[in-house]
Amino acid sequence: MEFQAQLFADLSHIHGYRWMCRGAAKRLRQGKPVPDEAPELAPGMDRSDVAAWEQTMLVCDQVGRHLRAVGAGLAWRVFNYDHSEILALIQRTVRSARAEHRRWPNAMGIGAKPRQG
């Protein structure tokens, strides 16, 4: 379980890092300077070069894919390589997310109207 938690934390960190890189690249495209709180780039990369930020985002995408693949492999092993159990878990999660999505607009007092009858 510790490994799984660390894997999730690492994936979350990669997503956050990519998001900050995206923001820096966007600012550069708009002619604005890179903010001081922007993440560090790899040694030798120019912070004022949009291509450097885009390349870093590609690396983040690849690392994220690999971490998700490791997580999928762990799930596959935990469920004894039984595809039906994994599908049931996924479908349950999707149904739960859909139900939550339907409840949210009404809870906020906007969007979908309550069903009649």
Q: Delimit the domains of the chain by residue range.
A: 2-81
pLDDT, position 28? 96
Q: Please tell me the pTM assigned to this model.
A: 0.65
pLDDT, position 113? 47
Angstrom CA distances, 25 to 35, 46, 64, 76, stand at 11, 12, 19, 37
d(CA 115, CA 38): 47
pLDDT, position 112? 45
Q: Which residue has the tokens 């492999």?
A: 73
Please list the pLDDT of the chain residue by residue as tens digits (117 residues).
688 788 888 999 999 999 999 999 999 999 999 999 999 999 999 999 999 999 999 999 999 999 988 888 887 777 776 777 667 766 765 565 555 545 444 444 444 444 454
